[in-house]
Structures are given as C-alpha cells and as structure tokens.
Amino acid sequence: MAPSTLTAALLIARKDLAIEFRTRTAFFSAVVFALLAIVIFYFAWDPTAVAAVDLAPGVLWVIFTFSGLLGLHRSFGVEMADRAIDGLLGAPIAREAIYLGKALANLVFVAAVQVIAIPAIVLFYNMPLAGRAALAVAAIALLAAIGLTAVGTLFSAMAVNTRLAELLLPMLSLPFFVPIIMPAAQATARLLSGRPVSEAASWLKILIAFDLVFVVACMLAFPHTIEE
Amino acid sequence: MTVPDRTSPAIDVRGLTRAFGGRRAVDGVAFTLRGGECLALFGPNGAGKTTLLRMLAGLLRPTSGTARIGGVAVPGGPAVRAAVGLISHASLLYGALTALENVELAAKLYGVREPRAAALRALEAMRVRDRAATPVRALSRGLQQRVSIARAMVHEPSVVLLDEPFTGLDAAGAAALTSALVALRSSGAALVLVTHNLDEGLSLATHVAIMTAGRFVRFEERGALDAPAYAAAYRELVARGA
C-alpha cells in the first residue's frame, strides 16, 4: 500500500536533509552569507545616527530573506541533476506530498540558519534579549520561516526548469515575502526594544494568517506547476 | 505486482498525440499489449519514442488520444503509477545517497513491504549488491545504470517502460537486465522497450514497432519475423528519414 501524504512528505524531507547533511554546500553558504552580512552591516552602522534597536530588526530580516533563498534555490536543483524528480512524480504518492516534504526540509534549513544568525545579531548589536522576549522572537522567526518556505518552495519548483533560475527565484518570491517579512520585522522591533510581548500580538496574528493562506494556496498550486 | 491479468490489455493506447507548439512529437500512436508481452520499439533519434514512454509513465499529458494502464487512463492517480516502472535515459538517482538508500527510498514511496530487504534483493538481481553502501556519485556510469534499474524494479511493476536500458551496461549488467526482464515477462508484466539495438530488442520482444516522426510506420508480432530482413527494412526507413 502506498504511503499516506504525510508519510511520503516525511520520507522526502528526510531524504533532502540527508543530502544536505552530506554535502553541506547550501547550509554553509547560507551561514557564511548571514555572518558576513551581519559583520558588514555592523561596520557600516553609525551608532550615533541610528540606534541599535532600530537597525537590528531590519538587518535580521534582510539576512533571513536572502540566506533562505540560497537553500530554496537548491531545493529543486538536487532533483534536476539526474531527473530524480521523475522518480518522485512517477511514485504513487500525492503531488502535495512532494511539496510538503520539500517545504519541511526547507523549513529545517532556514530554522537552522536562524539558530546561528539570531544569537550573532544579539551579540553584535548588544540586544537585551532574554526570557519571554527571547521565546517570542524564536516563535516569530519560526512563523516567518514557515511563510518564507511555503512561498519559496513553490517558486523554486517553478524557476528550476528555467535558464535564469537564480535570478527568477528571488524576482518571483520577494514580492510574496513582503506580507511575511513586514509583520515579522514589526513584531521583532517591538520585542528587541523591550516592549511587552502583548504589543507584538497583533503583528503575530497577521503573520499566522499569512502563513495559513500561503501554505494552503501554495500546496494547491504546486501540482499545476510541475505537470508537463 | 498489481496487474498480472493476461487476458485484458495491460497497455491500451489509442490515437495518442503530444504536440510541443506546432510540432507533433507523437502523432496518433495506437497499440495494445497484454500481460507477458513485450513491445520492442525502434526508431531514429527524435522519433518521439521517449515522449511516448513519458506519456505512458504519466509524466507528460497527452494533447489528444488516450493511454490506459490496466484499464485506467494515464496520467491517473497513485494506483496506476504504482503499476509502472520506468527506466529512463537519466538515472533518476540522488548522487549523494548510497545505492541502497536510493532503492530503499523508492521501495518506501511505492509502499513495498520490508523495503530494505526488497531493495537488497533488487540490487542483488542487478548484481550490484556489493556496492549497496557506495554513494551513487562514486559509481561508474554502468553501475549507476544497474542501480537505476534496481530502483525501477523494486516494487515489481506490472508495466515496465524501458528507454535505452542497455546503454552503459557491460556484459554482466546486460545479462542481469535481460534475465530480470525475462523473469518479469514470465510473471505477467508487460514491457515497452525502446532501443537502437535490433538484436537485443528482437530477442526479448513479442511485438515490434518502428517509429519515425511521431508515428508507428510498422507494428507487427515478432513471431516468425525474419530478423535480417527486418533489420534491412529498419535501416532503409531510418536512412530515408521517414
């Protein structure tokens, strides 16, 4: 009996993470990019003109967006080398399982980059992040990562067959990232400036709403993007 | 094995057409194969053979016409895909994973019971079990082809679509593939074998066809077909660019 959608998705996610764990190319690229960007922003920053609490949330989300794109681009790239995607499409599993598996692996990838980048930002910009605020920032980062990977996985599948995939993926994805990045950045800014968690709640609700919309819409759209 | 019925058609193709822009890569192809039969499909490059196989595998939608696998139109749902095994030009493997991991992943996605044991059996059948723990990217082209065949056979499909499967295989690999195909046919599977090698095709086939410019220009039972005369006719058709 063929596996359920969830089981197949977990198999595909596990396979993608195993490949990334062995090659580590995209992860190291993303982490090095994130750390370099933090350092460059830090040295370009004039603390007498802009306060750290005003700059850090912007830096954080610029870094997440672009480092995430590195992993998203590779997501369907590994399927094209020897047309392994045909093996997945020919298997008796729902197309949605391929999308979910890929998105899940991308989510782990982006979250792993965040685990390294957030402490680096806190360290460089001397942010007072602890206790409930730290947990809230982690929750925002995870929710934003869900939205980014939901959209990015779909566009990675669409862009991979084109000759300008590296250019096309950010061009397609970035406009759709805005509704995710904006509430995430606003909520993070409030938490990093020491405001209570309740002040970020309304932005969190917007973030959750967009996550739901993007996950459902992208999963429904995915089968149409890969069928020839 | 999901469709071992030898009385009803395992593959039933009627007026199958696929156009890319204004060009018809496959143009009104029709044939029927029952379980245990093998169609050897010959034709020059660009004749539409791979496009035909991709439609039968459910990877490409026909522009018009129908293809049925075990009575179900393709591209169908998971049930029809479970019945098909595809050996393609490309290996369909992940280079960073080992041979065993690749075949085991396929077994799991097809819902094979005891996937690891099934994967090891498939690798054994292709005489590549001793390389089970080797990453695919470290294998030679021929060994990758054997792993690719094991991947396609691990769920014991009732319809096997083979696109130039002997390419890159040495004598041992070719012998292993031939015996695997003979065993599949004996167990009731229907095979479509695309090849440029007339001897290999004719030795396995119950039916033979020549495809040029998207059409079947000849389709007949292998039976008592005179191989040298058929080879001469094929060469003439290809030379004419029919």
Residues of chain A in contact with residue B58, where contact means CB-CB under 8 angstroms, are 89-90
b/e per residue B122-141 (b: at least 16 CB within 10 A): bbebbbbbebbeebbeebee
pLDDT tens digit string along A62-110?
A: 998 998 888 888 888 889 888 999 999 999 999 999 999 999 999 999 9
B73 in any annotated domain: yes
Domain CATH number, residue B209:
3.40.50.300
B1 in any annotated domain: no
Q: What is the pLDDT of residue B6?
A: 61
Residues of chain A in contact with residue B103, where contact means CB-CB under 8 angstroms, are none
Average pLDDT over chain A, rounded to an integer: 89
C-alpha distances in Å from residue A199, one per residue of A59, A100, A142, A204, B173: 21, 33, 19, 10, 67
Instruction: Tally the domains of chain B.
Output: 1
List residues bridging with B11 in a β-sheet: B33, B69
B4 in any annotated domain: no
CB A52, CB A127: distance < 8 Å: yes
B79 in any annotated domain: yes
Percent of chain B with pLDDT strictly greater than 70: 96
* Local confidence band at B7 (pLDDT 50, 70, 90 cut-offs): low
Between CA A17 and CA A107 the distance in angstroms is 10
Classify residue B239 as exposed, middle or buried by CB count within 10 Å of its CB (0-12, 13-18, 19+).
Answer: exposed
Interface contact A89-B90, CB threshold 8 A: no
Residues of chain A in contact with residue B135, where contact means CB-CB under 8 angstroms, are 22
The winner for highest mean pLDDT among A114-123, A206-215, B229-238 is: A206-215
pLDDT tens digit string along B93-117?
A: 999 999 999 999 999 999 999 999 9
C-alpha distances in Å from residue A34, one per residue of A7, A71, A105, A120, B180: 33, 12, 19, 9, 51
B146 in any annotated domain: yes
Residues of chain B in contact with residue A84, where contact means CB-CB under 8 angstroms, are 92-94
Interface contact A84-B88, CB threshold 8 A: no
Residues of chain A in contact with residue B88, where contact means CB-CB under 8 angstroms, are 83, 86
| Parent domain of B172 | 9-239
Find which of A7, A14, A15, A21 to mutate to test the B interface (most B CBs within 10 Å of its CB): A15
Please name the residues between 113 and 172 in chain B that touch chain A, using a CB distance below 8 Å: 135, 151
Q: What is the pLDDT of residue B2?
A: 46
B205 in any annotated domain: yes
CB A177, CB A151: distance < 8 Å: yes
Q: Is it the case that residue B242 has pLDDT exceeding 60?
A: no
- Mean pLDDT for A177-202 is 87
ipTM: 0.88
Interface contact A19-B97, CB threshold 8 A: yes
Between CA B238 and CA B242 the distance in angstroms is 6
| Chain B residue closest in CA terms to A86 | B92
Q: Is it the case that residue B5 has pLDDT exceeding 70?
A: no
pLDDT tens digit string along B194-237?
A: 988 888 888 889 999 999 989 999 898 988 788 888 888 888 88
B2 in any annotated domain: no
